[in-house]
Amino acid sequence: MRSVGESHIGKVRSENQDTIFLSDQPVGKFENLYIVADGMGGHRAGGYASSYAVSRFVDLLRESEEEDKIESMKAAIAIVNQEILEKCRHDSTYAGMGTTIVAATVSGSWITVMNIGDSRLYYGARNLEQITVDHSYVEELVQAGALRRDQSRLHPKKNLITRAVGAPSAEPDFFQFQAQDGYLLLCSDGLTNMIADDELKELLLDHSQLENKASQMIARANEYGGRDNISLVIVELKR
């Protein structure tokens, strides 16, 4: 198992409010751990939210004695959410801040994924499959049949999310699936809003080195405008 991660400010934003974490080594009872978070809020607040959420979440998992990975992540993110809400209530500088989070761990052939918001996890082998489902206004339109999937990426309300860490609605979704070989791609919407899935598939599944895949994705997102912070973690699965 090997992973790489990159986070870039993009070409428009004045600061990077994304945070990534990657460890191919054990984190508490987790054999490995990979996270991407995309903060939101005013000056300083979004960056604080994503940074705090990731570091605190990792610390809580490291300390947890819970054997069940889903239960462990569920308990940890509930604590993180409550602490961010408290920070918002008691310090007006941080009022309204929040963050998305997508996290994954690999145990044998089983991958366990948690997400809140619209940061995504894809699995790529022969094809590219989006595992997570966005918590967003536009995704709700797609699910209701009011918008075609191919129209969703460029919808003007694409960035309206319906769940976030730091919001009253912060219930995570969990996904578990089996995979032998291929790649996991965790990423913020600064990547997926710039690059369509067909092109992401080509970049992820080409024959270049793992480090080059990440760099090429960042470069391509910036080439197409880089309108947001761009963050990703790629995990190479080999059995």
Q: Looking at residue 105, which CATH number applies to its domain?
A: 3.60.40.10
| Residue pLDDT, tens place only, 27-78 | 999 999 999 999 998 767 999 999 999 999 999 999 999 999 999 999 999 9
- At 43 the pLDDT is 67
pLDDT of 181 strictly over 80 = yes
**Which residues are CB-contacts of 153 (< 8 A; sequence separation ≥ 6)?**
192, 193, 196
What integer is the mean pLDDT of 234-239?
Answer: 90
Higher pLDDT, 91 or 121: 121
**Of 27, 82, 88, 85, nearest to 60 (Cα)?**
27
Count how many domains the chain has: 1
| 10 vs 148: CA distance, rounded Å | 28
| Residue pLDDT, tens place only, 117-169 | 999 999 999 899 999 999 988 888 888 888 887 777 778 777 789 999 998 88
CB-neighbour burial class of residue 239 (10 A; exposed 0-12, middle 13-18, buried 19+): exposed
Q: Which two tokens stand for residue 186?
A: 């965790």
| Residue pLDDT, tens place only, 195-209 | 999 999 999 999 889
What integer is the mean pLDDT of 174-203?
Answer: 95
For residue 158, give its domain range. Answer: 2-237
**What percent of the chain clears pLDDT 70, i.e. is strictly above it?**
99
- At 80 the pLDDT is 97
Q: CB 58: neighbour CB atoms within 10 A?
A: 19
State which amino acid sits at residue 166: G
| Residue pLDDT, tens place only, 205-227 | 998 899 999 999 999 999 999 99
